[in-house]
Protein backbone atom coordinates (compact mmCIF):
# COMPACT_ATOMS: atom_id res chain seq x y z
CA UNK A 1 0.00 0.00 0.00
CA UNK A 2 2.81 2.39 0.92
CA UNK A 3 4.59 1.63 -2.35
CA UNK A 4 1.39 2.38 -4.26
CA UNK A 5 1.01 5.72 -2.43
CA UNK A 6 4.64 6.66 -3.11
CA UNK A 7 4.40 5.83 -6.80
CA UNK A 8 1.16 7.74 -7.27
CA UNK A 9 1.58 10.54 -4.75
CA UNK A 10 1.48 13.26 -7.41
CA UNK A 11 -1.80 12.00 -8.83
CA UNK A 12 -3.34 11.37 -5.37
CA UNK A 13 -2.26 14.82 -4.16
CA UNK A 14 -3.81 16.46 -7.19
CA UNK A 15 -7.01 14.51 -6.67
CA UNK A 16 -7.15 15.46 -2.97
CA UNK A 17 -6.62 19.13 -3.72
CA UNK A 18 -9.29 19.08 -6.37
CA UNK A 19 -11.72 17.37 -3.98
CA UNK A 20 -11.09 19.97 -1.26
CA UNK A 21 -11.48 22.73 -3.80
CA UNK A 22 -14.79 21.25 -4.88
CA UNK A 23 -16.02 21.05 -1.25
CA UNK A 24 -15.04 24.66 -0.65
CA UNK A 25 -16.74 25.74 -3.84
CA UNK A 26 -19.97 24.03 -2.81
CA UNK A 27 -19.81 25.53 0.66
CA UNK A 28 -19.15 28.99 -0.69
CA UNK A 29 -22.05 28.59 -3.09
CA UNK A 30 -24.35 27.53 -0.28
CA UNK A 31 -23.28 30.38 2.02
CA UNK A 32 -22.98 33.13 -0.55
CA UNK A 33 -22.68 36.50 1.03
CA UNK A 34 -21.42 35.18 4.38
CA UNK A 35 -17.86 35.47 5.59
CA UNK A 36 -15.97 32.18 5.47
CA UNK A 37 -12.56 32.53 7.18
CA UNK A 38 -11.94 28.75 7.05
CA UNK A 39 -12.59 28.66 3.29
CA UNK A 40 -10.26 31.59 2.68
CA UNK A 41 -7.58 29.93 4.77
CA UNK A 42 -7.85 26.66 2.83
CA UNK A 43 -7.89 28.55 -0.48
CA UNK A 44 -4.72 30.42 0.44
CA UNK A 45 -2.96 27.25 1.60
CA UNK A 46 -3.99 25.13 -1.34
CA UNK A 47 -3.25 27.66 -4.12
CA UNK A 48 0.55 27.19 -4.12
CA UNK A 49 0.12 23.44 -3.73
CA UNK A 50 -2.18 23.36 -6.73
CA UNK A 51 0.23 25.48 -8.74
CA UNK A 52 3.08 23.06 -7.85
CA UNK A 53 0.96 20.04 -8.72
CA UNK A 54 -0.01 21.57 -12.07
CA UNK A 55 3.65 22.40 -12.81
CA UNK A 56 4.70 18.83 -11.98
CA UNK A 57 1.97 17.42 -14.20
CA UNK A 58 3.00 19.69 -17.07
CA UNK A 59 6.66 18.80 -16.59
CA UNK A 60 5.96 15.06 -16.61
CA UNK A 61 3.74 15.41 -19.66
CA UNK A 62 6.32 17.53 -21.48
CA UNK A 63 9.11 15.11 -20.64
CA UNK A 64 7.05 12.18 -21.87
CA UNK A 65 6.27 13.94 -25.15
CA UNK A 66 9.93 14.97 -25.46
CA UNK A 67 11.07 11.37 -25.05
CA UNK A 68 8.55 10.30 -27.68
CA UNK A 69 9.81 12.97 -30.09
CA UNK A 70 13.41 11.95 -29.39
CA UNK A 71 12.70 8.29 -30.13
CA UNK A 72 10.86 9.28 -33.30
CA UNK A 73 13.81 11.46 -34.37
CA UNK A 74 16.24 8.61 -33.80
CA UNK A 75 14.14 6.29 -35.92
CA UNK A 76 13.98 8.94 -38.66
CA UNK A 77 17.77 9.40 -38.47
CA UNK A 78 18.33 5.66 -38.84
CA UNK A 79 15.97 5.58 -41.81
CA UNK A 80 17.74 8.54 -43.41
CA UNK A 81 21.18 7.01 -42.83
CA UNK A 82 20.04 3.77 -44.46
CA UNK A 83 18.65 5.76 -47.37
CA UNK A 84 21.91 7.70 -47.76
CA UNK A 85 23.90 4.43 -47.81
CA UNK A 86 21.57 3.02 -50.45
CA UNK A 87 21.92 6.16 -52.57
CA UNK A 88 25.71 6.13 -52.24
CA UNK A 89 25.80 2.51 -53.38
CA UNK A 90 23.54 3.34 -56.33
CA UNK A 91 25.77 6.27 -57.30
CA UNK A 92 28.86 4.05 -57.09
CA UNK A 93 27.18 1.43 -59.31
CA UNK A 94 26.09 4.09 -61.80
CA UNK A 95 29.59 5.57 -61.91
CA UNK A 96 31.11 2.13 -62.47
CA UNK A 97 28.59 1.39 -65.23
CA UNK A 98 29.39 4.73 -66.87
CA UNK A 99 33.13 4.03 -66.78
CA UNK A 100 32.59 0.55 -68.19
CA UNK A 101 30.42 1.92 -70.99
CA UNK A 102 33.11 4.48 -71.85
CA UNK A 103 35.77 1.74 -72.01
CA UNK A 104 33.57 -0.47 -74.18
CA UNK A 105 32.79 2.42 -76.53
CA UNK A 106 36.52 3.08 -76.85
CA UNK A 107 37.09 -0.63 -77.55
CA UNK A 108 34.31 -0.63 -80.14
CA UNK A 109 35.80 2.41 -81.87
CA UNK A 110 39.13 0.61 -82.02
CA UNK A 111 37.40 -2.51 -83.32
CA UNK A 112 36.06 -0.48 -86.24
CA UNK A 113 39.65 0.24 -87.38
CA UNK A 114 40.31 -3.49 -87.89
CA UNK A 115 38.94 -5.98 -90.37
CA UNK A 116 38.60 -9.61 -89.38
CA UNK A 117 37.18 -11.80 -86.64
CA UNK A 118 37.80 -10.38 -83.16
CA UNK A 119 36.39 -11.37 -79.78
CA UNK A 120 35.88 -9.06 -76.80
CA UNK A 121 37.15 -10.59 -73.55
CA UNK A 122 37.44 -9.50 -69.93
CA UNK A 123 40.59 -9.71 -67.85
CA UNK A 124 39.81 -11.98 -64.88
CA UNK A 125 43.26 -12.70 -63.47
CA UNK A 126 46.89 -11.62 -63.27
CA UNK A 127 50.08 -13.44 -62.42
CA UNK A 128 50.68 -13.07 -58.69
CA UNK A 129 54.04 -14.85 -58.49
CA UNK A 130 56.10 -12.25 -60.34
CA UNK A 131 57.79 -15.05 -62.31
CA UNK A 132 55.96 -14.20 -65.54
CA UNK A 133 54.05 -11.26 -66.92
CA UNK A 134 50.69 -12.71 -67.88
CA UNK A 135 46.94 -12.08 -67.79
CA UNK A 136 43.97 -14.45 -67.75
CA UNK A 137 40.89 -13.72 -69.88
CA UNK A 138 37.39 -15.15 -69.60
CA UNK A 139 37.20 -16.86 -73.04
CA UNK A 140 38.88 -20.01 -74.28
CA UNK A 141 38.76 -22.72 -76.89
CA UNK A 142 34.96 -22.96 -76.72
CA UNK A 143 34.87 -19.39 -78.07
CA UNK A 144 37.49 -19.95 -80.78
CA UNK A 145 40.49 -18.67 -78.81
CA UNK A 146 43.65 -20.52 -79.81
CA UNK A 147 47.31 -20.48 -78.88
CA UNK A 148 49.20 -17.75 -80.73
CA UNK A 149 46.21 -15.41 -81.11
CA UNK A 150 47.00 -11.71 -80.73
CA UNK A 151 45.53 -9.76 -77.82
CA UNK A 152 44.93 -6.07 -78.45
CA UNK A 153 43.74 -2.91 -76.70
CA UNK A 154 42.86 0.54 -78.09
CA UNK A 155 46.19 1.88 -76.80
CA UNK A 156 48.23 -0.80 -78.57
CA UNK A 157 49.20 -4.46 -78.56
CA UNK A 158 48.95 -6.42 -75.31
CA UNK A 159 50.44 -9.85 -76.00
CA UNK A 160 49.54 -13.25 -77.35
CA UNK A 161 47.70 -16.34 -76.12
CA UNK A 162 50.16 -19.01 -75.00
CA UNK A 163 47.78 -21.30 -73.11
CA UNK A 164 44.06 -21.92 -73.64
CA UNK A 165 41.53 -24.10 -71.84
CA UNK A 166 37.89 -24.53 -72.77
CA UNK A 167 36.62 -21.38 -71.04
CA UNK A 168 39.72 -19.32 -70.24
CA UNK A 169 43.10 -18.39 -71.69
CA UNK A 170 46.42 -17.03 -70.46
CA UNK A 171 48.04 -14.09 -72.24
CA UNK A 172 51.83 -13.61 -72.44
CA UNK A 173 52.39 -9.84 -72.27
CA UNK A 174 54.85 -8.14 -74.60
CA UNK A 175 56.95 -7.02 -71.64
CA UNK A 176 57.65 -10.63 -70.62
CA UNK A 177 61.22 -11.77 -71.40
CA UNK A 178 59.83 -14.72 -73.40
CA UNK A 179 57.86 -12.46 -75.72
CA UNK A 180 59.02 -11.27 -79.15
CA UNK A 181 57.30 -8.85 -81.55
CA UNK A 182 58.55 -7.94 -85.02
CA UNK A 183 58.47 -4.14 -85.02
CA UNK A 184 59.38 -0.96 -86.88
CA UNK A 185 60.50 2.50 -85.83
CA UNK A 186 57.64 4.40 -87.43
CA UNK A 187 59.63 7.46 -88.49
CA UNK A 188 62.53 5.71 -90.25
CA UNK A 189 61.10 2.17 -90.78
CA UNK A 190 64.10 0.71 -88.95
CA UNK A 191 63.27 -2.90 -88.07
CA UNK A 192 63.93 -4.84 -84.89
CA UNK A 193 62.49 -7.26 -82.34
CA UNK A 194 60.69 -6.01 -79.23
CA UNK A 195 61.08 -8.19 -76.15
CA UNK A 196 60.45 -7.78 -72.43
CA UNK A 197 63.16 -6.62 -70.04
CA UNK A 198 63.61 -6.77 -66.28
CA UNK A 199 62.00 -3.46 -65.25
CA UNK A 200 58.58 -4.07 -66.88
CA UNK A 201 59.59 -2.19 -70.02
CA UNK A 202 60.62 -3.49 -73.43
CA UNK A 203 63.77 -3.49 -75.48
CA UNK A 204 64.14 -3.09 -79.27
CA UNK A 205 66.92 -5.44 -80.38
CA UNK A 206 68.72 -6.26 -83.63
CA UNK A 207 68.41 -2.76 -85.09
CA UNK A 208 71.31 -1.98 -87.42
CA UNK A 209 73.77 0.57 -86.06
CA UNK A 210 73.39 2.61 -89.21
CA UNK A 211 69.65 3.11 -88.67
CA UNK A 212 68.38 6.41 -87.27
CA UNK A 213 66.65 5.74 -83.95
CA UNK A 214 65.98 8.59 -81.51
CA UNK A 215 64.33 9.07 -78.15
CA UNK A 216 60.64 9.83 -78.67
CA UNK A 217 60.27 7.69 -81.81
CA UNK A 218 57.09 5.62 -82.00
CA UNK A 219 57.49 1.85 -82.39
CA UNK A 220 54.76 -0.06 -84.27
CA UNK A 221 54.15 -3.63 -85.36
CA UNK A 222 55.58 -4.67 -88.73
CA UNK A 223 52.98 -7.39 -89.33
CA UNK A 224 55.75 -9.80 -90.40
CA UNK A 225 55.59 -12.13 -87.39
CA UNK A 226 52.24 -13.59 -88.43
CA UNK A 227 50.72 -12.74 -85.05
CA UNK A 228 50.02 -9.03 -84.77
CA UNK A 229 48.31 -6.91 -87.45
CA UNK A 230 50.51 -4.31 -89.10
CA UNK A 231 50.95 -0.71 -87.87
CA UNK A 232 49.55 -1.12 -84.37
CA UNK A 233 51.25 0.87 -81.57
CA UNK A 234 53.84 -0.94 -79.46
CA UNK A 235 55.47 1.86 -77.50
CA UNK A 236 57.85 4.78 -77.53
CA UNK A 237 61.65 4.87 -77.50
CA UNK A 238 62.91 6.25 -74.18
CA UNK A 239 66.62 5.47 -74.50
CA UNK A 240 69.12 4.50 -77.25
CA UNK A 241 72.40 2.64 -76.71
CA UNK A 242 74.97 2.54 -79.53
CA UNK A 243 77.92 1.64 -77.35
CA UNK A 244 80.10 -1.26 -78.33
CA UNK A 245 81.45 -2.42 -81.68
CA UNK A 246 78.67 -4.81 -82.71
CA UNK A 247 76.49 -4.62 -85.78
CA UNK A 248 73.37 -3.59 -83.85
CA UNK A 249 72.17 -0.83 -81.57
CA UNK A 250 69.69 -1.24 -78.74
CA UNK A 251 66.71 0.94 -77.75
CA UNK A 252 64.60 0.86 -74.62
CA UNK A 253 60.87 1.10 -75.31
CA UNK A 254 58.05 2.08 -72.94
CA UNK A 255 54.88 0.12 -73.89
CA UNK A 256 51.84 2.15 -74.87
CA UNK A 257 49.50 -0.11 -72.87
CA UNK A 258 49.29 0.13 -69.07
CA UNK A 259 48.90 -3.60 -68.40
CA UNK A 260 47.95 -3.07 -64.75
CA UNK A 261 44.83 -1.11 -65.78
CA UNK A 262 43.49 -3.45 -68.47
CA UNK A 263 39.93 -4.70 -67.96
CA UNK A 264 38.75 -5.55 -71.49
CA UNK A 265 40.71 -6.64 -74.58
CA UNK A 266 40.21 -7.86 -78.14
CA UNK A 267 41.42 -11.31 -79.21
CA UNK A 268 42.02 -12.18 -82.87
CA UNK A 269 40.41 -15.27 -84.36
CA UNK A 270 42.13 -15.73 -87.70
CA UNK A 271 43.61 -13.10 -89.99
CA UNK A 272 43.05 -9.50 -88.88
CA UNK A 273 44.23 -6.41 -90.74
CA UNK A 274 43.82 -2.64 -90.36
CA UNK A 275 40.89 -1.38 -92.40
CA UNK A 276 43.13 0.86 -94.52
CA UNK A 277 45.43 -2.03 -95.45
CA UNK A 278 42.54 -4.36 -96.16
CA UNK A 279 40.87 -1.78 -98.40
CA UNK A 280 44.05 -0.84 -100.32
CA UNK A 281 44.08 -2.00 -103.96
CA UNK A 282 46.47 -4.81 -104.71
CA UNK A 283 49.43 -3.95 -106.96
**Sequence ranges of the domains in the chain:** 2-68, 113-272
Is the domain defined by 113-272 classed in CATH 2.40.10.340?
Answer: yes
- In the three-class reduction of DSSP (H, G, I as helix; E, B as strand; rest coil), residue 214 is classed as coil
Say yes or no to pLDDT of 3 above 80: no
* 17-51 pLDDT tens trace: 666 656 655 555 555 545 566 566 656 666 666 66
- Give the chain's largest Cα–Cα span: 139
The pLDDT-based confidence of 254 (bands split at 50, 70, 90) is very high
The pLDDT-based confidence of 282 (bands split at 50, 70, 90) is very low
- In the three-class reduction of DSSP (H, G, I as helix; E, B as strand; rest coil), residue 201 is classed as coil
pLDDT of residue 188: 96
| pLDDT top residue among 86 and 179 | 179
- Beta strands (DSSP E) in the chain are 114-126, 134-137, 150-153, 156-164, 169-173, 181-185, 191-196, 202-208, 218-221, 233-241, 248-255, 264-274
Residue pair 253/219 in contact by the 8 Å Cβ criterion: yes
| pLDDT top residue among 254 and 88 | 254
pLDDT of residue 262: 92
For 268, other C-beta atoms within 10 Å of its C-beta total: 24
Give CA separation, 238 vs 204, 225, 250, in Å. 11, 24, 11
Residue closest to 162 by CA, chosen among 187, 190, 186, 133: 133
- Beta strands (DSSP E) in 106-168 are 114-126, 134-137, 150-153, 156-164
| Count of residues in the chain | 283
Taking residues 134-148, what's their average pLDDT? Answer: 95
Say yes or no to pLDDT of 238 above 60: yes
The pLDDT-based confidence of 176 (bands split at 50, 70, 90) is very high
Amino acid sequence: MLDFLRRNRAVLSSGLFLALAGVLALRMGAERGRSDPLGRFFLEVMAPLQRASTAVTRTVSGTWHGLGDLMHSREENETLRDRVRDLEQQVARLNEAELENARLRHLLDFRETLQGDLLTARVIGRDATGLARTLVIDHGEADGVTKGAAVLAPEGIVGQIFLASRHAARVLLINDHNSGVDALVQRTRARGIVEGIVDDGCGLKFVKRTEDVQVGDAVITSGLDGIFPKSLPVGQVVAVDKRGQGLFQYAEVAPRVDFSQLEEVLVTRGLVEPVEAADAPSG
